[in-house]
Structure 1
C-alpha cells in the first residue's frame, strides 16, 4: 500500500509541474532568429525564427536559467538587448528582465517582457532608453512573478498596452 501511495504522489507532483514558456510577439515586419544561452547545467534550446505573422511560443525546461537575444535576418549573430529568465527560481518564482548590459544601443530586438496572465510587472522599454531595464551590473531591475508564462516583444512599434507604474 505504501508503494501505491508514493506512486500516486509522484504522478500528482508530475502533473502539477507546468511547462514554462516565453511567447515572442513581433511588433514590426522584420523576421528574426531568437538565440538562447542557458546557464551551465541548463538544457540547450535551439534557435527559433519569429516574425509578425503570428506569435511564437517556446517551451522551456523546468528550472531553466539563462537569456535570449534576437537577430534580424541579414544581420550578424551578435548579442544585443537580452531577455533574461529564471524559471522556478527561489521560492518557486519566475525572475525576468530586459538587460542592456551587452549592447544598450540595440533598440529594435528584445524590447519588453511581462507575465502573460497579469501583465504586471513589466520590464523593458516601449521607447529606449527608459528607467525600466537592467543597464548596469548593480541595477535593481529584475522582476518576479508567480506565473511561468512570459510575453516578450521584439522590434519597433508598440503593443498599445498600458502598464502600471513600475517601481
Structure 2
C-alpha cells in the first residue's frame, strides 16, 4: 500500500517512547479475528480474537507502520477493509485512516477509527460507502492525532461514537514531500493543510548556504 511506503520514510525516526494501543470494538453479534500486516522491516503483531459485542485492546510496537483487517468466524482469511496506521510518525504524530482501496465491498469488518480520548478526527464509515474513507490513492483522507491510543470499530451495528468537530485531513503526497530536506527549525501546525510543496533550484546568482539544495515554493495541487 502507498500509505505504508510513505509512512516508512519517517516512522523509524521517532525517539520518544510511547505505548501504542488499538482497541477493537465489536458492534454486532459476530466473532472476528484481526490480522495485522506490518510494513517491510517492522515487527509482526499477533492476531487478535474479538468476540461478538466485546472490546479487546491490542498493544502495537513503538513507531509501528502497517495495517489490519478483520475476518468473521467461518469466513476465508482474505484482506478486506483496512485500518492503516503509522505511530510516532512525522512530528511525532499518529497517522491513520480506513482504506477501501483493496476490497471496497467489505462492509462487515473494519468500519471507523478515531483517537480514544479526543474522539476526533474520525476515519471510515458507520455505513459504507461514505466520503470519509480512502477509495482512491490521492484522496485527502489521512487523519492525524497526537494520541497513541486508537479505537477501531468492527461490524454493522450502531457506532458508539458521538463525533465531535472534525479536523482537516492531509494528502499522502504531503507526508512524502515533508519527509526529506526538512530543517529541525522547520515546523508546521499539527494539521497542516497545504496540498504540496516542492524543492526548486535557486534563482541564478542566489547565494547558497552550506548543505542547501534549493528554495521552497508552494504548488497548488487542487483538482
For the aligned pair, the TM-score class normalised by the smaller chain equals 0.7 to 0.9
Query: Which runs of no fewer than 5 residues in structure 1 stay unpaired?
Result: 1-13
Q: What is the aligned partner in structure 2 of residue 32 from structure 1? A: 32
Task: For residue 88 of structure 1, give the secondary structure of its aligned residue in structure 2.
Answer: coil
Higher strand share: 1
Task: For residue 68 of structure 2, give the secondary structure of its aligned residue in structure 1.
Answer: strand
Q: Tell me which moved more, 123-132 or 52-61.
A: 52-61
Instruction: With the length of structure 1 as denominator, give the TM-score of the two structures.
Output: 0.87
2:37, 2:66 within 8 Å by CA — same for their partners in 1?
A: yes
Q: What is the aligned partner in structure 2 of residue 101 from structure 1? A: 101
| Structure 1 residue runs of 4 or more that deviate by more than 4 Å after TM superposition | none
2:36, 2:44 within 8 Å by CA — same for their partners in 1?
A: yes
1-structure distance, mates of 2:79, 2:93: 26
Cα deviation per residue 1:27-84 (whole Å; 9 max; x = unaligned)? Answer: 0010011000000110001111102343101101100000000000110100000000
Q: What is the aligned partner in structure 2 of residue 62 from structure 1? A: 62
Cα deviation per residue 1:103-139 (whole Å; 9 max; x = unaligned)? Answer: 1110110000000000000000011100000111111
1-structure distance, mates of 2:54, 2:103: 27
How far is the alpha carbon of 1:165 from its aligned partner? Answer: 5.2
Equivalent pairs counted in the alignment come to 153
Q: Tell me which moved more, 46-55 or 112-121.
A: 46-55
Structure number with greater CO (CA < 8 Å, separation at least 6) is: 1
